[in-house]
Amino acid sequence: MAANPDKHKQPEAFPAPDPPRAGETAKLWEKTRFVGKPFPRVDAYERLSGSAVYPADVRLPNMLYGAILGSPHANARIKRLDMTRAEKMPGVRAVIGGTVPEANPAWHYRQGRPAMEVAGKLFDPHCRFEGDAVAAVAAENPYQAQDALRAIVVEYEVLPFVADERKALQPGAPLVHGEGNLVQTDRYQRGDVEKGFAEADVVLQETYRSACELHTPMEPHGCVANWERDRLTLWESTQGVFAVQSGVAEILGLPLAKVRVIGGYMGGGFGSKLQAGKYSVIAALLARRTGRPVKLILPREQTYLAVGNRPPCNMRLKAGVRKDGTLTALDFSVLGTGGAYPAGGTSLVDWQVRDLYSCPNVRIETTDVYVNAGPARPFRAPGHPQGSWALEQMMDALAKAIRMDPVEFRLKNVPSGSQAREGMPPYATTGLRQCLEEGARAFGWKEARQKTGAPPGKASGEGHLRRGVGMASGLWVAGGAMPPSTVIVKMFSDGSVNLNMGASDIGTGTKTIMAAVAAEELGMAPESIQIEHADTGTTQYTRPSGGSKTVPTESPAVRAAAIHVKEQLLSIAAEALKADKADLAVMDGRVLSRSDDSKSAKIADLAGLKQRGVIVGIGSRAPDPPGKVVNPFAAQFCEVEVNVLTGEVRILRFLGAHDSGRVMNRLTYDNQVFGGITMGIGFALTECRILDASQTGKLLNRNWHDYKLPTVLDVPAEMVSLPIEILSPEINTTGAKGLGEPVTIPTAAAVANAVYDATGVRITESPISPMQLCKLLSEQLKEG
Amino acid sequence: MAANPDKHKQPEAFPAPDPPRAGETAKLWEKTRFVGKPFPRVDAYERLSGSAVYPADVRLPNMLYGAILGSPHANARIKRLDMTRAEKMPGVRAVIGGTVPEANPAWHYRQGRPAMEVAGKLFDPHCRFEGDAVAAVAAENPYQAQDALRAIVVEYEVLPFVADERKALQPGAPLVHGEGNLVQTDRYQRGDVEKGFAEADVVLQETYRSACELHTPMEPHGCVANWERDRLTLWESTQGVFAVQSGVAEILGLPLAKVRVIGGYMGGGFGSKLQAGKYSVIAALLARRTGRPVKLILPREQTYLAVGNRPPCNMRLKAGVRKDGTLTALDFSVLGTGGAYPAGGTSLVDWQVRDLYSCPNVRIETTDVYVNAGPARPFRAPGHPQGSWALEQMMDALAKAIRMDPVEFRLKNVPSGSQAREGMPPYATTGLRQCLEEGARAFGWKEARQKTGAPPGKASGEGHLRRGVGMASGLWVAGGAMPPSTVIVKMFSDGSVNLNMGASDIGTGTKTIMAAVAAEELGMAPESIQIEHADTGTTQYTRPSGGSKTVPTESPAVRAAAIHVKEQLLSIAAEALKADKADLAVMDGRVLSRSDDSKSAKIADLAGLKQRGVIVGIGSRAPDPPGKVVNPFAAQFCEVEVNVLTGEVRILRFLGAHDSGRVMNRLTYDNQVFGGITMGIGFALTECRILDASQTGKLLNRNWHDYKLPTVLDVPAEMVSLPIEILSPEINTTGAKGLGEPVTIPTAAAVANAVYDATGVRITESPISPMQLCKLLSEQLKEG
C-alpha cells in the first residue's frame, strides 16, 4: 500500500481554514479543517479494545438463550412436530413451532418490496430450503437450548428438490411453490438491437456465470429481546434500526412506538441486516412467552443457510462494435434466482449493461426463478459485480478484437453528455472519464500493458509465472441520498457537543464522518463530539445504512443541525459581545469576531448558554429535487501473477480510481476502497457457495474453513486509492456521493481481464479457481 | 380513604371533549379528555412486576463491585492509611484512598450553591463525621469488596467532637473546621417588631425543636460506572441526570458531552439525589483505574450516615395578636445546622413565618452552625415543615388565647391582596382562603371541634382515649417552573408517539402526567405514548426533578412539543384531504374535519407522513416573565385519638386541601397528597436521627428497625384529598403548580395541634413520642 504514501500521511497539524461564518448554510465548504483529511475513527479505541458493546454483549438480568431448529432438508413437508420431550428438558422455558398466532400473516411476501421481507411463514410446515425455521426454544443457557433442539421430534416427508437455477425451468423440475418455478421475467429495450448488430464490424457473444457468494459479516445475526409490559426492546445487530422496528411491529401487530430497536456497535452486514430477521421475531415471541429477556444469536452455519446471499447469475451477452470502438448493440439475457422465495434474484444485474456506456441499442431480458435454497439478500452493490463480470470481460474481448487499448475503448464509449442516455435526467456530476484517464496514468497502465499483453490464446511471458494487467470500470445505480433523515446536535453549556442520529455505523466509519461534519461547522475536533446513534427510542428516523447512501443522506442533515446550533450560539454570543452576528465565528471553544480582536468569548463562559442549559439543533435531509441523478463512477486497475502450473493467481497490485464526490475522511475512504477491492478479490478468486445439487441440496461449505474468504494473504501488497473528487452543490450540501458499493463492482472483472492478459485464458465462471484455471490452461495447450 | 369515594372512581369512559384544534397553542385547555382524570401510571406494570430496570439492576460484562470505607469516628484525623494488605486480598482489583489526583479540587464547597455540592475533599484526611469517605475498593464480587474494606489499615487520631448544634457555639466547643463553628447568620426584617408587640393584645413566646429526619428512599444511592476510552457512562439513581453530569464532569475535568448519565427508573430521593454523590465519582475512578465497569450501591447504613438529612432545627417564636385576630408582630429566631459542611442548615425555615400570613412587622434571625454529623440535603420542602411546626402551633396557641376558632383566625390573616406583602410581585393565583374554607367544610371542622376541644390545660373527654382535631396551613416557597427544559415528541409513520424528556420520574408519576399531556394534544390514550427519559446522552437538558417544579416545568414543554407535532401532522393532512388546516382535528388515530364528515384520514394512511418517516416536535419551557410568583397553598385537617395511658397517638383521619393549580392526574395527585401526609406523620410522630451526642457522636439508629418510618399501620384509615383547582394562564400553559412538597408542610403541626386539642398538652419538640407525651401528661396531672 506504499505507492502513494503521501496520500496517507496525516499532516502534523491541520491547516487552519477561515473559521466558518454564520449564515453559510447551504454553500459547499471551500476549505475544510477536518473533512477530507485522514483522521482516525472516533470509536477506534472501543472497537479495538473490546470495550465496544455489541448486541451479543448485552446481558440482562434473568436472561434466557434462544435457538432455532432449521430444516435439514432442501425440500420437505413436516408430517409431525412433537415438542413435548423438548419442553421437559432441563432448563427449557419455552418451545415454539407450528402455527404461532401472535405472528401476523402479513409476514408473507408482498409485492413491492421483495428484498426487504423475510420470506415465508414464521414456521412453515413446508420447508423450502435447508435451514428454514421449524421450531425454536428458550432455555437457561445456550447448551441447554441446543440440547432441547435435538429433543424436538420432527417427521419430514422429504421431497424432490431443485438446487440449480439452470434446471429450475426444465420440464419435470420439482416445484418450489405450487405455481411453478418462474418468479418473473423483466424486459428492457432501447433502439433496435438487430439494426445495431448489422451496423457492427465485430459481434461477439459469450456466456458468463457468477457463483453464489455468502454474506460473511464478522458478527453473526441476532438480537436480545426484552418486554416491558406491551413494549418490546430489541438490541439487534442491524444496518437499520427503524427498518427492524417497522418489520417487527408489523409482524407482531404492535404500534411502532412500542418497538424500540437499539443498534449500537455492529460487526458488519453487507446488506444481509437491512431488515428484521426471523430470529428477531422469534426472540421477541420467546421473550413474551416466558416473560424473560431472550438472547438469540445465530450460529455461523445458520447465517450461511438462511439470512442471505449474493445469488448465482447466468448471463449471455452479445455485443456489437465498430472498428473505431463505437458500441452499436448490447443484447443481454440473465437467468438468476433469489432462492426459495422472491428475493430479487436478478435485481440490478442489468444496470452496468444498461447505463455504464453510451450504446444506442440495448436489449435486456432477466428471468428470476425459484430454487430450494436460502433466500437472497442485497449484497454490497447487489447485481452489479455480476453484471460487471459479464460486461467488462466482454469489453475486454471487444477491445482485443478491434485491437484497441481497453482503456481507450472504454473512453470512446463514455456517455458524451451529462446523462446516461437521451431522456434521462442529468447526472449531478460524472467522473467516469477522469477515473479512466487518471486511474490509468497513476497505475502506469500503458507501460504495464506493453510489458505483459499476451497474444490471443497464449499465456504472456516465459516460465510458469505469467504476469498480466487488467482493468474494468463501473457505475453504481445510486449513490445519492435516501431521505428522509433527521438528526439532532446539542451543545452543552460548556460548549461540548453531542450528536444524536438514527443511522447505524455498519463498520464503515459513519460516526467518524458525521463527527467531522459537525466538528467542521462548530470549530472543534471530531473526537470531542459524542455520538448516540441507532436507537429508535431516542434518535430520529432514517433509512437503513445501505445502498452507499448513508453519508450522502446523513452528512447534509448533520451539517444542517450543526449550523442550527451555531446560529443559536452566535445569536447568544452576539448579544453578549455586542457584536454583529454575521461577523462572528466559532473556533476551538471560542466565539470570535473577524473584525475586532477584542470581541471574543469562551463558549463555556457565555451566560446566555448557561441559562439555556443546552442548545438543540435539528437538521433534516429533505428529498432531493427531482430531475437529478447522483451516481458514483469507478475504474479499477490491477496486475496479477498466474502460476500456470498450479493455477494459482496472485494479485500484485490494485488501484481504485473512484468518483464518489467529496472525500469525507481520507483514511476511511481509502479503507473502503481497499475493503471493497478485497471483497471483489473474494468474488473473483475464492468465494462460492457449494450446494450438493444432485444428492441432497445441502450446503457443503458451511464454515470458515470450507467457505473461502480472502484473508490478508490474498490481498495485494500494493493498493492505491485514487479519489476523483468532483465537488458540486448539485450533489448535496456536503458534496459526498456513495462509496461503499462502487468500490467492489469492477474488481472481479478487472482480475479476470488481468488473468486473460497473463494467460490468454478467458474465465467466464467465477470464482477463478486453480482447478478451473488449470483445466482451461491445459485445454489451451491442447488447442495451441 | 372512603370519605369522598366519587373523587376516586374512574369514569367508565372518558367524556369526549371537542377534539383539539390546530393553532390552539398557548390557550389553557377548557375541556380535557385525560388531563385531570384519574388514570393509572403508564409504567405501573413494570414497577409492580419487577421488570423495571433500576441502576442497581444494570449488569455489564466484566463488572466489578465497589465499596466505600467510612470513618467510624465523628471527628478524627487519619494518621496512617495502609492499603497494601487490601490490595492483595482475593478478587481485589483496585484500592483508592488519600489523595486522588484525578479528582478536581473544585470538589470543595463553593459559595453560591451550598446545597448542591457534595462536601469536602473526596477522601479528606480529616474525617469530620461518621461515615466520611476514607478509602474505596473494587473487587470481583460484593463480598470480596467488603472483606477488602476490613483489610484497609487506618490509624486515626480521634478528636473531640460536637454533635449537638445547641452546643456548637459554646465556648470551648470542639471546632469542626479551623475557623470556628458559625457558618452564617442571616437576618430579615420588615416593619417594626417592637411597635407591633406594643400594639398587640396578646403576646406569646415559645421555643420549638424539630428532630433530624433521614431521607429514606426505598432505593439506596449508587450507580454503575463504565468508561469507553475518554467517555464515562453512569447509570445512577438520581433526581437529575444533568446535575450529576455537570457535577462529575467538573470534578473529573471532563467535557459535559463525555459524561453520559442514565437515570431510568429510580426508587425515590426526596431531595437527597439532586446531585452527584461521592459514590458517583468514586465509582468512576475505580472504573478508570481498573478499565472495567464498577457497580457501587451504598448500604443503607451509609445512606443514613453520609448522603443527607433534614437537619434538626431550634426555633424561638414570639408573636403578637390583637383581640380581633390581627397579627401585629412575629419575631422568629432559628438555630440550625447543615452538619460538618455548609449545606443550608437553616435554609427556607423562615419562609412560613415570612410570607404565609399578612403581618406588617416581622423579624427573623437564622443561625447556621457546624457539627460533626453528616451533611444535610434538601429534604421534601426543605425548611418548611420545621417553620410550620413553630408557626402553626403558635397560631393555634394564639387562637386559643383570643378564643377564636383556629380556621377563622387564619382566614383573618390571609393576605388580602394577590401578593404576600407590599412590594412583592403578585401571585399568579392564590387559593389559601379556599383551602381553609373548603377544607374546613369538607372535613366538618366546626362540628368536630365542638365535640372535642379540651379546655386549656385539660385533656378533652373522658376515659383513656381522648380525641382531638387540629389543622394547619402552609405555602411552598416555589411551585412554578425552573426552566429551561426542552423535550422532543416524535410521531412515527403509523401515528404512534414517542416522548423524549430529560426529567427523572422520581416515583411521583411524571412520566404518566407527561404522557397524558401529549395524549391530550394528540387525541390518543396516555398509555400508548412511549417515553424515553432521564438520559443526558439522548434527551434534552432540564433541571433536576425537585422543588415541586417538575410538572410546572415539563408539562408546558411537552405540550408545546406535542402541538409542534400536531401542527406538522395537520399540514400534511390538510394537503392530503384538501382541507383547511384550521378546520382539522386529531382524534383516536385519525385526522378529521370539523365541518365536513367526508374529510377524514387514518394517520397511518397519510402518504406524506410515510414519506417523512417521522414527525419531530420540539417544545421548550422558556423562563417565566419576571413579575409573577407561582406558589402553591395548603390547609390540612386531622383528627387524632390519644391514649393518655400509653402516650400513643392514633391518627383517625386526614384531609388535605391543596391549591396546586390544575390537577394533572387525579389518581397520582391524590397519591401525592396521601404520601406527603404520611411523611408528615413520620415527622410528627416517629422519625428522629439519634446521635450519641455525649460519648461517641455516632448514629444509634442506623437501620429500618431502629429508625422508625411510618408504616401502613400508622396511616389513617380515612384520607381525603381535596384539590382547590384554580386555573389560570398566569401559571403556565397547562396551569399546574407544584404539588410534591406542599403536601407535607403543614402535616406535623396539624397533628400537634390535634394532640393539643385532645389532651391540652402542647408538644413543641418533634417527634411526639409516647415517652414525651406521657411525661408531659403526667406533668399536666401534677399541675392540674
Q: Is A462 left (phi over 0), alpha (psi -120 to 50) or beta?
A: beta
What's the predicted TM-score (pTM) here?
0.91
Would you state the torsion angle of the CA atoms of residues A232, A237, A241, A246, taken in this order, to the nearest 10 degrees? -60
Give the gap in angstroms from C-alpha A555 to the nearest C-alpha of chain B.
17
Lowest-pLDDT range of A63-72, B111-120, B563-572: B111-120
- Classified as helix, coil or strand, B115 is helix
Q: For residue B392, which of B766, B769, B776, B688 has the smallest C-alpha distance?
A: B766
Which of B49, B229, B255 is facing A494, going by the closest CB pair? B255
Q: CA-CA distance, A741 to A384, in Å (whole number)?
A: 9
Per-residue pLDDT for B784 more than 70?
no
Q: For B194-227, give one letter per residue: b (16+ CB within 10 A) or e.
A: eebbebbeebeeeebbbbbbbbbbebbbbbbbbb
Give the gap in angstroms from C-alpha B151 to the nearest C-alpha of chain A.
31
What is the rounded average pLDDT for all residues in chain B? Answer: 91
Looking at the fold, whether A649 and A668 belong to one and the same domain comes out as: yes
Looking at the fold, whether B446 and B323 belong to one and the same domain comes out as: yes
Looking at the fold, whether A458 and A524 belong to one and the same domain comes out as: no
Which tens digits make up the pLDDT trace of B530-544?
Answer: 999 999 999 999 999
Which of A484, A538, A540 is facing B532, going by the closest CB pair? A538
Which tens digits make up the pLDDT trace of B316-375?
Answer: 999 999 999 999 999 999 999 999 988 889 999 999 999 999 999 999 999 999 999 999
Element (H, E) at A108: none
CATH of the domain at B610: 3.30.365.10
Contact assignment for A494 to B256 by CB distance below 8 Å? yes
Q: CA-CA distance, B179 to A522, in Å (whole number)?
A: 47
CA distances from A742 to A549, A633, A659 (A): 11, 7, 9
C-alpha cell at position A353: 449493461
Which of A57, A258, A530 is facing B530, going by the closest CB pair? A258
What is the longest distance spanned by two Cα atoms in chain A?
89
Looking at the fold, whether B465 and B433 belong to one and the same domain comes out as: yes
Per-residue pLDDT for B117 more than 50?
no
- The pLDDT confidence band at residue B7, using thresholds 50, 70 and 90, is very low
Which tens digits make up the pLDDT trace of A445-499?
Answer: 999 998 876 555 555 567 899 999 999 999 998 888 888 899 999 999 999 999 9
Give the gap in angstroms from C-alpha A605 to the nearest C-alpha of chain B.
14
Contact present, A286 and A94 (Cβ < 8 Å): yes
Question: How much of chain A is in helix, strand and coil states, percent to nearest 5?
Answer: 30, 25, 45
Q: Nearest residue of B to residue A498 by CA position?
A: B257
Residues of B within 8 A of A260 (CB-CB) are 530, 532
Give the gap in angstroms from C-alpha A545 to the nearest C-alpha of chain B.
15
Contact present, B367 and B123 (Cβ < 8 Å): no
Contact assignment for B59 to A57 by CB distance below 8 Å? no
Which residues are registered as beta bridge partners of A718? A653
Looking at the fold, whether B343 and B246 belong to one and the same domain comes out as: no
**Cross-sheet strand order for the sheet of A313-321:** A182-190, A362-370, A327-339, A313-321, A202-210
Query: Residue B350: inside a domain, yes or no?
Result: yes
Which tens digits make up the pLDDT trace of B264-312?
Answer: 899 999 999 999 999 999 999 999 999 999 999 999 999 999 999 999 9
Q: CA-CA distance, B309 to A688, in Å (whole number)?
A: 70
Per-residue pLDDT for B231 more than 50?
yes
Query: Residue B137: inside a domain, yes or no?
Result: yes
Q: Quick one: DSSP state of residue A573?
A: H
Looking at the fold, whether A591 and A645 belong to one and the same domain comes out as: no
Per-residue pLDDT for A587 more than 90?
yes
Contact assignment for B613 to A528 by CB distance below 8 Å? no
Q: Which residue among A603, A621, A639 closes a domain?
A: A621
Residues of B within 8 A of A540 (CB-CB) are 490, 614, 616
How many helices (H) and strands (E) are present in chain B, helices listed first? 18, 26
Give the gap in angstroms from C-alpha A175 to the nearest C-alpha of chain B.
38
Give the gap in angstroms from C-alpha A56 to the nearest C-alpha of chain B.
11
Lowest-pLDDT range of A432-441, B3-12, B645-654: B3-12
Higher pLDDT, A23 or A334: A334
Element (H, E) at B156: strand B153-158
Contact present, B196 and B361 (Cβ < 8 Å): yes
Looking at the fold, whether A228 and A323 belong to one and the same domain comes out as: no
Q: Nearest residue of B to residue A589 by CA position?
A: B255
Q: Nearest residue of A to residue B227 by CA position?
A: A51
Would you list the DSSP string of B522-573? HTS-GGGEEEEESBTTTS-----S-TT-HHHHHHHHHHHHHHHHHHHHHHHH
Q: Which residue among B595, B621, B647 closes a domain?
A: B621
Query: Residue B582: inside a domain, yes or no?
Result: yes
Element (H, E) at B516: helix B510-522
Element (H, E) at A683: none
Q: CA-CA distance, B126 to B67, in Å (whole number)?
A: 20
Contact present, A530 and A560 (Cβ < 8 Å): no
Percent of chain B, pLDDT > 90?
A: 80
- In total, the C-beta contacts within 8 angstroms joining chain A to chain B are 145
Per-residue pLDDT for B106 more than 70?
no
pLDDT at B262: 97
Per-residue pLDDT for A85 more than 90?
yes
Query: Residue A176: inside a domain, yes or no?
Result: no
Residues of A within 8 A of B260 (CB-CB) are 530, 532
Contact assignment for A242 to B494 by CB distance below 8 Å? no
Looking at the fold, whether A95 and A241 belong to one and the same domain comes out as: yes
Contact assignment for B484 to A229 by CB distance below 8 Å? no
Which tens digits make up the pLDDT trace of A241-256?
Answer: 999 999 899 889 899 9
Percent of chain A, pLDDT > 90?
A: 80
- The pLDDT confidence band at residue A38, using thresholds 50, 70 and 90, is very high
pLDDT at A19: 41
**Catalytic residue positions of A?**
741
Higher pLDDT, A622 or A567: A567
- Alpha-helix runs per DSSP H in B81-211: 84-87, 142-151, 193-199
- Classified as helix, coil or strand, B301 is helix
**CB neighbour list of residue B152: distance below 8 Å, 6 or more residues apart:** B69, B81, B82, B83, B85, B86, B95, B97, B134, B135, B137
Strand stretches in B286-382, DSSP E: 294-297, 313-321, 327-339, 362-370
How many CA atoms within 13 Å lie on the side-chain side of A126? 13
Per-residue pLDDT for B118 more than 50?
no
Which of A46, A496, A614 is facing B540, going by the closest CB pair? A614
Residues of B within 8 A of A227 (CB-CB) are 51
Contact assignment for A614 to B486 by CB distance below 8 Å? yes
Higher pLDDT, B15 or A369: A369
Query: Residue A456: inside a domain, yes or no?
Result: yes
Which residues are registered as beta bridge partners of A209? A314, A765
- Classified as helix, coil or strand, B281 is helix
Which tens digits make up the pLDDT trace of B165-186?
Answer: 999 999 999 999 988 999 999 9
Q: Nearest residue of A to residue B498 by CA position?
A: A257
Q: For residue B308, which of B68, B69, B116, B165 has the smallest C-alpha distance?
A: B116
Contact assignment for A57 to B57 by CB distance below 8 Å? no
Which of A228, A257, A623 is facing B51, going by the closest CB pair? A228
**Which residue is listed with cell 470543595?**
B108
Q: For residue B693, which of B16, B22, B75 has the smallest C-alpha distance?
A: B75
pLDDT at A109: 42
Which one of the listed residues B392, B437, B741, B765 is annotated catalytic? B741
pLDDT at A26: 59
Per-residue pLDDT for A673 more than 90?
yes
Contact assignment for A614 to B541 by CB distance below 8 Å? yes
Strand stretches in A249-385, DSSP E: 259-262, 294-297, 313-321, 327-339, 362-370
Looking at the fold, whether B488 and B474 belong to one and the same domain comes out as: no
Q: For A247-266, give one letter per residue: b (16+ CB within 10 A) or e.
A: bbbbbbebbbbbbbbbbbbb
Per-residue pLDDT for A503 more than 70?
yes
Q: CA-CA distance, A207 to B360, in Å (whole number)?
A: 104
pLDDT at A378: 93
Percent of chain B, pLDDT > 70?
A: 93
Contact present, A36 and A663 (Cβ < 8 Å): yes
Which one of A51, A542, A564 makes the best mutation probe of the B interface by having the most chain B beta carbons within 10 Å?
A51
pLDDT at A459: 53
Residues of B within 8 A of A53 (CB-CB) are 60-61
Residues for chain B: how many in total? 784
Which tens digits make up the pLDDT trace of B578-588?
Answer: 999 999 999 99
- Alpha-helix runs per DSSP H in A614-684: 666-681
Give the gap in angstroms from C-alpha A109 to the nearest C-alpha of chain B.
20
Contact present, B706 and B304 (Cβ < 8 Å): no
Residues of A within 8 A of B543 (CB-CB) are 613
Over residues A502-510, the mean pLDDT reads 95
Which one of A568, A614, A618, A624 makes the best mutation probe of the B interface by having the most chain B beta carbons within 10 Å?
A614
Q: Nearest residue of B to residue A611 by CA position?
A: B484
Give the gap in angstroms from C-alpha A603 to the nearest C-alpha of chain B.
12
Which tens digits make up the pLDDT trace of B186-196?
Answer: 999 999 999 99
How many helices (H) and strands (E) are present in chain A, helices listed first? 18, 26
- Classified as helix, coil or strand, B429 is coil
Residues of A within 8 A of B56 (CB-CB) are none
Rg (CA), chain A: 27
Query: Residue B286: inside a domain, yes or no?
Result: yes
pLDDT at B116: 32
Q: CA-CA distance, A298 to A146, in Å (whole number)?
A: 12
Q: Nearest residue of A to residue B613 by CA position?
A: A541
Q: Which residue among B562, B588, B621 closes a domain?
A: B621
pLDDT at B493: 94
- The pLDDT confidence band at residue A408, using thresholds 50, 70 and 90, is very high
- Classified as helix, coil or strand, A316 is strand
If one counts the domains in chain A, the total is 3
Residues of B within 8 A of A231 (CB-CB) are 530
Which tens digits make up the pLDDT trace of B684-728?
Answer: 999 999 999 999 999 999 999 999 999 999 999 999 999 999 999
- The pLDDT confidence band at residue B26, using thresholds 50, 70 and 90, is low
Over residues B516-523, the mean pLDDT reads 96
- Classified as helix, coil or strand, A635 is strand
pLDDT at A784: 64
- The pLDDT confidence band at residue A422, using thresholds 50, 70 and 90, is confident
Q: Would you give the distance in Å from CA A622 to the centre of its chain?
A: 23
Q: CA-CA distance, A561 to A518, in Å (whole number)?
A: 8
Would you list the DSSP string of A181-247? SEEEEEEEEES-HHHHHHH-SEEEEEEEEEPPB----SSPSEEEEEEETTEEEEEE--S-HHHHHHH
Which one of B254, B614, B620 makes the best mutation probe of the A interface by having the most chain A beta carbons within 10 Å?
B614
Which of B60, B257, B490 is facing A492, going by the closest CB pair? B257
Cis bond before residue B716 (omega within 30° of 0): no
Q: Which domain holds residue B651?
A: 313-479+628-783
Residues of A within 8 A of B532 (CB-CB) are 260, 537-538
Helix axis angle for B510-522 and B550-577, nearest 10°, is 30
Contact assignment for B618 to A623 by CB distance below 8 Å? no
CA distances from B547 to A187, B377, B632, B635 (A): 71, 12, 11, 19
Looking at the fold, whether B684 and B748 belong to one and the same domain comes out as: yes
Query: Residue B195: inside a domain, yes or no?
Result: no
Residues of B within 8 A of A257 (CB-CB) are 492, 496-498, 528-530
Contact assignment for A256 to B540 by CB distance below 8 Å? no
Contact present, B388 and B748 (Cβ < 8 Å): yes
Contact assignment for A497 to B257 by CB distance below 8 Å? yes
Query: Residue A169: inside a domain, yes or no?
Result: no
Cis bond before residue B484 (omega within 30° of 0): yes
Looking at the fold, whether B615 and B658 belong to one and the same domain comes out as: no
Q: CA-CA distance, B655 to A745, in Å (whole number)?
A: 77
Which one of B51, B500, B527, B620 makes the best mutation probe of the A interface by having the most chain A beta carbons within 10 Å?
B51
Rg (CA), chain B: 27
Residues of A within 8 A of B614 (CB-CB) are 484, 486, 540-541
Contact assignment for A540 to B229 by CB distance below 8 Å? no
ipTM value > 0.90 = no
Residues of A within 8 A of B541 (CB-CB) are 490, 492, 612-614
Q: For residue B466, which of B761, B217, B686, B235 has the smallest C-alpha distance?
A: B761
Would you state the torsion angle of the CA atoms of residues B601, B607, B611, B617, taken in this order, to the nearest 10 degrees? -10
Q: CA-CA distance, A410 to A369, in Å (whole number)?
A: 33
Looking at the fold, whether A292 and A393 belong to one and the same domain comes out as: no
Per-residue pLDDT for A392 more than 90?
yes
Give the gap in angstroms from C-alpha B491 to the nearest C-alpha of chain A.
8
Contact present, B516 and B485 (Cβ < 8 Å): no
Q: For residue B569, which of B513, B626, B504, B615 has the smallest C-alpha distance?
A: B615
Which tens digits make up the pLDDT trace of B38-66?
Answer: 999 999 998 998 888 899 999 888 999 99
What is the rounded average pLDDT for all residues in chain A? Answer: 91
